[in-house]
Structure 1
Amino acid sequence: MEKARLLKAIIETAIDGIITIDNRGRIESLNPAALRLFGYALEEVEGKNISVLMPEPDRSGHDGYISRYQTTGEKRIIGKGREVKGLRKDGSTFPFRLAVSEVQYDDRIIYTGFIHDLSREKEAEERLREYAAELEELVEERTKSLKKTVKALSEAKEEVSLSLEKEKELNQLKSRFVSMASHEFRTPLSSVQLSASLIDKYAEPYDNTNIRKHVSKIKNAVGNLTTILNDFLSLERLEAGRVEPTFTAFDLVKLAEEITEEMQMIAKQDQNIIYQHTGLQSMVLLDPNLLKNCMINLISNAIKYSGENTFIEFNTEINDQQCIVTIKDNGIGIPESDHKYLFQPFFRAHNTGNIPGTGLGLNIVHRYASLMKGDLYFESSIHTGTKFVLSFHK
């Protein structure tokens, strides 16, 4: 009796549903878990055929299942459990795993079904399938997007390669043109310069002010054109990477004195270039041609942007750490708003007015200084003048 009560308590509290039917398929009992699963009260289904708890097609074929079970001995198959669907009172269905046992009871045979609800497992599986489908779709979209990006990159690479090839050809054409133009222009300019000098000489006996004035204009124009040609040729050589410094030991003071004498000849009226050297040493290891170009360019700017009756300070210094070249004028100065653009090619300060220039000189000087591992910096304010400093570490 105690064992019977224990067995009943186990059945009543079991998590899975337990149902018993007779050999004709009529329901004899359902435990509380089974009643909750199907949504019935026991009196609603007791005595009814088990097919009432089955959706089609299992409902119609249930009696055939029992018959085959009884006549062909499919006990092992049924006993293993199989996945089926149940029909609730409200008409909805749910999946469950059914295992059937044959029980001998009071000289008769009854069948006990153990029902394990699979709703949560099926929902989880469905969610996993949905996630997998979403992931697959996302991967497919990303793959398409990646393929599209790769194709675009490939096309862009081809375009860039073609563009670089065209740019290379254009640079070669430009290089040839600049070299040719430089050569072709220099010859007539030299002739014009020589002719102007001869006219000036032949006109001396006449002491004609107008002749001297116009000859001077011709010489200045030729000088400006020559400067422009030199700037463009220098820029082209820099852009083509054809400027390599040749470091040579030379006398800086001697070079600076020669430049001072040369530049004084083209200075304005009563414009004086004052050269001074500081230090006991005079030998440096730099590229004399590049340094000469830098100094001439900076002194030319000082002459150009300073008025008559002014001084241009030209200083060199050699100490244990550095070689320093300084050119200082008291000309028009550079507006502060233009300072950050000053070394860009073709840039000219806004206060230069009609003063001729290409805007290339300072860019070239800056790049020449860099090639010699040096620095170029300046100090300037409008109407007070400008100081440029070239410095090279020893």
Structure 2
Amino acid sequence: MMDQISLLNAIIDTAIDGIITIDSNGIVESINPSACSLFRYTPSEVIGNNISMLMPEPDRSRHDGYLHRYQKTGEPHIIGIGREVKGLRKDGSLFPFRLAVSEVQFHGRIIYTGFIHDLSREKDAEQQLKKYTNRLEHLVEERTLTLQSLIKQLQHAKEEVSNSLEKEKELNQLKSRFVSMASHEFRTPLSAIQLSASLIEKYNSQYGNDSISKHVSKIKSNVGNLTNILNDFLSLERLEAGKIETQISTFDIVKFAEEITEEMQMVAKQNQNIIYQHTGTKSKITTDLNLLKNCIVNLIGNAIKYSGENTFIEFNTEMLNKKCIIMIKDNGIGIPATEQKHLFEAFFRAHNTGSIPGTGLGLNIVDRYVQLMNGTISFESAENKGTTFTITLNHHEE
């Protein structure tokens, strides 16, 4: 029997949880080391005193009443299992613990045993979790408000963009109508001016007045420049409106190129020579003849414009591996390296073009025509050394 009591005392002394026993009057009879550590008392400071010394108010004042009331009711022996309460340490600080109280009959006496499980760590963890949760909720609320604000801003920006696009669309329609109207309206007086200049030139041939011939030549040259400008604007307007559709046909590229060479040679500068050459045994190509002619005329026209007198302009065509390669090379002013990336942009003109007339639309139109023919265009250029343009088109062998 003594060995069992010794074993029980050893278990109580080494228990992790605090264990306190009191008599029926609430007087502490025993307290284990864990309980002393929790309340920070020595056994002698607690044993013999009322258990209420370890309780904060209001439980401290009410404890005896709780105990007496229980003794009168005769309810089940288990007074409390897992009840969370506060403990009062010697230094006055409080800590949470879970209390389980059992009634034990021992040698005719009633002893109440309290089992105390410290909840400090759990409560601290709960507080930290609550703190983190509150912080997270606050952050979520902030982010939600920010997101709502961004959504409103985005919606506002979307409305502004939509309004801007609508206005831009209206402006483009007005611009297209104006360009179309102006271009057609200008053609009539330009044709009249061109005809009158030709008649003056004809009549002057009888008199041989060099001064008149010089001014007539200027009139015809400027009328030609203005006509080219109007043609560029009309082409751009038709491209923007999506009015240009490809008209596919099969034709002889050599005959086609020779005709263009002959036409362009007539407008070349003094002693400028356009040298045409074809490579390959085949010469049939299937594509849009008019679009291709516009592209080649534009590129050769630029070569004439930006090259000096007494120069050669190379114009080559080649049928190779189901592709037709068209190359126009000049020895003119070239394109500055820093500006080459903008070459195919509408209205772009390099800074070295000086007073040479032009709209900056020609290469943009050529690029878009080549795309309509499902081809590609590339170039190589060096300032003051010349430029080479290469158009590559797919073709189907017969």
TM-score by length of 2: 0.94
Query: How far, CA to CA, are the matches of 1:377 and 1:371 in structure 2?
Result: 15
Query: Structure 2 vs 1, CA of residues 50 and 384 (structure 1 numbering), >3 Å: closer, same or farther?
Result: closer
- AA of the residue aligned to 1:244: E
Runs of 4+ displaced beyond 6 Å: none
After TM superposition, the structure 1 stretch with the greater mean CA deviation from structure 2, 66-75 or 326-335, is 326-335
Q: In the aligned structure 2, how far is the partner of 1:152 from the partner of 1:111? A: 69
Hey, what's the Cα distance between the residues in 2 that align with 1:289 and 1:356? 24
In structure 1, the residue matched to 2:8 is: 7
Q: Does 2:101 correspond to 1:100?
A: yes
| Secondary structure at the counterpart of residue 256 of structure 1 | helix
Q: 2:339 & 2:99 partners in 1: Cα distance?
A: 89
Cα distance in 2, alignment partners of residues 206 and 132 from structure 1: 104
Q: Does 1:369 align with 2:370?
A: yes
Deviations along 1:361-390, one digit per CA (max 9) or x if unpaired, are 112112211221222222333333322222
Q: Percent identity?
A: 70
Q: State the partner residue of 1:44.
A: 45
Alignment RMSD (CA, Å)? 1.8
Q: Could you say what secondary structure the match of 1:222 adopts? A: helix
Change (3 A) 1:279 1:12: closer
Mapped partners of 1:129, 1:311: distance in 2: 86
CA contact (8 A) 1:20 1:29 kept: yes
State the partner residue of 2:165: 164
Partner residue, 2:258: 257
Q: How far apart are 1:211 and its partner, in Å?
A: 0.6
SS class of match (2:244): coil
**Aligned mates of 1:57, 1:50 — CA distance in 2:** 14
**Contact in 2 for aligned 1:68/1:74 (Cα 8 Å):** no
- DSSP 3-state at the match of 2:79: helix
Deviation at residue 25 of structure 1 after TM alignment: 1.2
* Equivalent position amino acid for 1:181 in 2: A
> What SS does the corresponding residue of 2:159 show, helix, strand or coil?
helix
2:181 & 2:237 partners in 1: Cα distance?
Answer: 12
Residue number in structure 1 paired with 2:209: 208
The CA distance in 1 between the partners of 2:47 and 2:29, in whole Å, is 6
1:291 match: 292
Residue 315 of structure 1 is matched in structure 2 by 316
* Structure 2 contact 77–103 (Cα < 8 Å) conserved: no
**More displaced stretch, 279-288 vs 193-202:** 279-288
Q: Which residue of 2 aligns with 1:192?
A: 193
Distance change (3 Å), C-alpha of 1:72 and 1:269: same
Aligned residues: 394
CA distance in 2, matches of 1:369, 1:105: 109
Is there any run of 5+ residues in structure 1 with no aligned partner, and where?
none
What corresponds to 1:336 in structure 2? 337
Residues 305 and 356 in structure 2, CA contact (< 8 A), matched pair in contact too: yes
Q: Quick check: 2:78–2:102 contact (8 Å CA) kept in 1? A: no
Determine the C-alpha separation between the residues in 2 that align with 1:138 and 1:378. Answer: 56
Structure 1 residue 320 displacement after superposition = 4.4
Q: 1:221 to 1:14 in 2, by over 3 A?
A: same
Q: Report the CA distance shift for 1:383/1:10 in structure 2 as closer, same or farther (over 3 A).
A: closer
CA separation of 1:156 and 1:335: change in aligned 2, threshold 3 A: closer
Q: Deviations over 1:229-248 (max 9, x none)?
A: 11122222223333232221
Paired with 1:242 and 1:210, the residues of 2 have a C-alpha distance of 45
SS in 2 for 1:80: strand
The alignment partner of 2:115 has SS state of: strand
CA contact (8 A) 2:269 2:308 kept: yes
Q: Could you tell me how far apart the structure 1 residues matched to 2:82 and 2:314 are?
A: 107
Partner-residue secondary structure (3-state), 2:114: strand
Deviation for aligned residue 1:333? 2.7
Q: Counterpart in 2 of 1:91?
A: 92
Spell out, residue by residue over 1:344-368, the C-alpha distance to the aligned partner (whole angstroms, 9 max, x if none): 2222222222111111111211221
Counterpart of 2:194 in 1: which secondary structure? helix
